[in-house]
Chains A and B, each alone.
Chain A
Amino acid sequence: EAGVTQFPSHSVIEKGQTVTLRCDPISGHDNLYWYRRVMGKEIKFLLHFVKESKQDESGMPNNRFLAERTGGTYSTLKVQPAELEDSGVYFCASRETGFGPDTQYFGPGTRLTVL
């Protein structure tokens, strides 16, 4: 069974440009999460989808970030326009069940560098 995949693995862009990150969850997993790790700090929650609906977007830093999950399969996270402080590693995770304890499976992450 394929794990969570993310594309690209690395992205280097100039300040003010737009970048779109993609996440493909494990097949059949309705729950999809985005997290971010800014250098030297903890991994922080950004938002959570249940199928195509945003369940919790309390961690999104500002309106320059837009996440979508059309059709409830893969998800994209767009940063427009990118700022220097957006640099970091963006992780995607998926989980099968809804409420209650279960494991989140993480992808390899996308390392974003904004110059």
Chain B
Amino acid sequence: AQSVTQPDIHITVSEGASLELRCNYSYGATPYLFWYVQSPGQGLQLLLKYFSGDTLVQGIKGFEAEFKRSQSSFNLRKPSVHWSDAAEYFCAVGADTGFQKLVFGTGTRLLVSP
């Protein structure tokens, strides 16, 4: 069965510092991988996705993620964090067959300090 692990429940980063959020997945075949963000009072917004091809994926708001099959990881990065990035971030994996229901991690809450 598919599973996603986000080992960090909370992370605090200073504004302007770099950020890396970890995501490890378990899936036997080719995964489809997603990062979503939920800002306070908002729905889940897609940051980026990986389906195939280049393993370094660029997303919105200056985020990127790298798919590493050997490590079963899809970590999210941003070189310089802004206060508006404070939110909860979810990694998800979808099956490459069927209608692709998503399996989510437990989320990482990002706090940005001045």
A interface residues (Cβ-Cβ under 8 A, vs B): 3-4, 31, 33, 35, 40-45, 48, 50, 55-56, 59, 91, 93, 95, 98-109
Contacts and interface: CB of A to CB of B under 8 A. Distances in A.
Contacts of B96: 101
**Number of chain B interface residues as a range:** 20 to 34
A30 B65 CA distance: 29
Interface stretch (B13-21, B68-76, B79-87, B104-112): B104-112
Contacts of A98: 99
A104 B45 CA distance: 10
Nearest to B42: A108
Nearest to B36: A106
Contacts of B51: 101
Interface in B23-81: 32, 34, 36, 41-46, 49, 51-52
A41 B106 contact: yes
A100 to B, nearest CB: 8
Contact of A50 (B99, B103, B105): B99
B98 interface: yes
B104 A43 contact: yes
Given A99-B98, A101-B32, A103-B49, A45 B43 contact: no
Nearest to A44: B104
A84 to B, nearest CB: 21
Given A101-B94, A105-B46, A45 B99 contact: no
Contact of A56 (B4, B42, B49, B99): B99
A22 to B, nearest CB: 15
B90 interface: yes
A34 B56 CA distance: 30
Given A45-B101, A106-B45, 5 more contacts: A4-B43, A43-B90, A99-B97, A100-B100, A108-B42
A54 to B, nearest CB: 11
Contact of A42 (B34, B43, B49, B107): B107
